[in-house]
């Protein structure tokens, strides 16, 4: 780990699972690592659309997973319905990136396509021609519509269903009022950045914006953080937790 983080305070903002993963990986960085999860996941408020899709699992040509959370919630719901994916006569599977692929393969799903750039919209090019194909897109309740729109514009029939809810977490706000300063803030999703901005007192938020540079998991997150007034300094080249860690290892923190 680069000495660039030694002695610095790094605030980790994201889902509970990603914050925990980052905290483990940065344990020997020499930094003061402050976990501050602002997003938690939960089953969808209305599981009926997901249930209908899972019962028609083998009618789809493709299932597209845009996060490991999506895989986990789909697998859990399928198990509760008595549906098994361990068969070679189901749909082909696309995953947005390595972590999602690992989660899918752990559930017995062979991943056939993954974009070289780990962006949701890039999945459309990774899976190739889709005209006349039926595609299941299980996603977060806060997911953007763009991937479904792209696939439909190319002639696919897309069932975009909520596989899970992304909800505000309940971190200890006192954590940020007692630490002296924040040098680097790491955002792992756009919703994490928005939740942070909405839950902090104005004085604390202004102090963090002034003092800290932001490192983001990807361009969508960076855009959201920038729109909220955070000073985005770096975007991970690989839009994954290991990609963020590599970016932090290589960075030089000024001030």
162-188 pLDDT tens trace: 999 999 999 988 888 777 789 999 999
Cβ atoms < 10 Å from Cβ of 242: 14
- By CB neighbour count within 10 A (0-12 exposed, 13-18 middle, 19+ buried), where does 91 fall? buried
48-167 CATH pick, 3.30.950.10, 3.40.50.150, 3.40.50.10090, 3.30.420.40: 3.40.50.10090
Residues of the chain with CATH 3.40.50.10090: 3-38+170-250, 48-167
Question: Which tens digits make up the pLDDT trace of 41-89?
Answer: 999 999 999 999 999 999 999 999 998 899 999 999 999 999 887 656 7
pLDDT at 253: 52
Which two tokens mark 206? 């202004």
pLDDT tens column, 188-234? 999 999 999 999 989 889 989 999 999 999 888 999 999 999 999 99
Cβ count near 32 (within 10 Å)? 18
Residue 220, SS3 per DSSP: helix
Q: What is the pLDDT of residues 106-143, one digit of tens each?
A: 888 999 999 988 788 999 999 999 999 999 999 998 88
For the entire predicted model, the pTM comes to: 0.82
Copy the structure tokens of residue 142: 């806060």
The domain defined by 3-38+170-250 folds into: Rossmann fold (3.40.50)
Cα 60 from Cα 134, distance rounded (Å): 5
Separation of alpha carbons 12 and 19, rounded Å: 6
The predicted structure's pLDDT at residue 1 = 44
Gap between the Cα atoms of 75 and 59, Å rounded: 17
Q: How many residues does the chain have?
A: 255
How much is the pLDDT for 4? 66
Please give the helix or strand (H or E) that residue 106 lies within, else none: helix 98-106
Q: What is the DSSP string of 40-74?
A: EEE--S--HHHHHHHHTGGG-SEEEE-SHHHHHHH
């Amino acid at each position: 780990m680069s000495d660039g983080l030694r002695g610095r305070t790094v605030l980790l903002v994201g889902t509970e699972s990603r914050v925990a993963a980052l905290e483990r990986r940065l344990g020997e960085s020499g930094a003061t690592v402050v976990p501050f999860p602002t997003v938690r996941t939960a089953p969808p408020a209305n599981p009926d659309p997901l249930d209908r899709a899972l019962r028609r699992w083998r009618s789809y040509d493709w299932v597209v997973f845009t996060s490991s959370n999506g895989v986990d919630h789909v697998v859990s719901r399928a198990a509760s319905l008595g549906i098994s994916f361990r068969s070679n006569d189901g749909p082909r599977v696309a995953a947005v990136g390595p972590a999602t692929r690992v989660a899918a393969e752990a559930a017995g799903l062979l991943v056939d396509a993954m974009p070289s750039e780990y962006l949701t919209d890039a999945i459309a090019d990774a899976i190739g021609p889709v005209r006349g194909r039926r595609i299941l897109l299980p996603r977060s309740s806060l997911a953007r519509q763009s991937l479904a729109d792209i696939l439909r514009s190319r002639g696919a029939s897309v069932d975009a269903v909520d596989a899970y809810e992304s909800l505000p977490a309940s971190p200890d706000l006192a954590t940020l009022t007692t630490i002296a300063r924040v040098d680097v803030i790491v955002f792992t999703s756009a919703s994490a950045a928005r939740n942070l901005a909405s839950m902090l007192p104005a004085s604390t938020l202004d102090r963090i914006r002034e003092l800290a540079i932001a490192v983001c998991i990807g361009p969508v997150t960076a855009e959201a953080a920038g729109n909220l007034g955070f000073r985005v300094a770096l975007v991970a080249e690989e839009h994954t937790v290991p990609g963020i860690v590599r970016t932090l290892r290589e960075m030089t923190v000024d001030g």
